């Protein structure tokens, strides 16, 4: 679970490295806590430096320090229990930045994401991730 003022690593290639959660965008059913698949509003705390030559290129960094963006949570340190009894926990909190149309800001994902994202409607993120953990076995 992610609360306000939590810091999350950014695992896409949008240019941000670290963001801080300032709002959780969902129904007030969990008293201000967000989990995997929830959309949040965040402030970019650390971003990749931009050189003058790279600023005009097509692959320019899309975000800067201090930008307010939306993101979706893809990993949490807080353990969650699956319906089959397995308990899932990651080493860090991580997010992927979104634009105003709820599309990914970056084009690549550089880390493991939770398989629960597919059930929450974020199949595009799961398909771009190099690995999802743990693999969901719906038929078994």
Q: What is the CATH number of the domain that holds 29?
A: 2.40.150.20
- Is 140 part of any domain? no
Q: What digits encode the pLDDT tens for the residues 85-110?
A: 888 899 999 999 999 899 999 999 99
Strand partners, 47: 16
Residue 80 · residue 67 · CB < 8 Å: no
Q: Which of 13, 14, 63, 73 has its CA nearest to residue 43?
A: 63
pLDDT for position 136: 55
- Is 18 part of any domain? yes
- Is 139 part of any domain? no
Range(s) of the domain holding residue 48: 6-133
The pTM assigned to this predicted structure is 0.87
Q: Which of 93, 105, 85, 87 has its CA nearest to residue 35?
A: 93
- Is 55 part of any domain? yes
> Cα–Cα distance between 55 and 128 in angstroms, integer?
26
């Amino acid at each position: 679970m992610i609360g306000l003022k939590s810091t999350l690593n950014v695992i896409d290639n949008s240019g941000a490295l670290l963001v801080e959660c300032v709002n959780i965008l969902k129904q007030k059913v969990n008293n201000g806590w967000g989990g995997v698949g929830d959309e949040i509003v965040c402030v970019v705390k650390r971003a990749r430096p931009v050189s003058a030559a790279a600023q005009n290129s097509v692959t320019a960094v899309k975000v800067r320090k201090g930008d307010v963006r939306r993101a979706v949570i893809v990993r949490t340190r807080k353990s969650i229990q699956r319906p089959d009894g397995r308990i899932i926990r990651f080493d860090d909190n991580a997010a992927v930045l979104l634009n105003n149309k709820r599309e990914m800001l970056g084009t690549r994902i550089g880390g493991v994401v939770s398989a629960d994202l597919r059930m929450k409607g974020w199949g595009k993120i799961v398909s771009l991730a190099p690995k999802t953990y743990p693999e969901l076995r719906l038929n078994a």
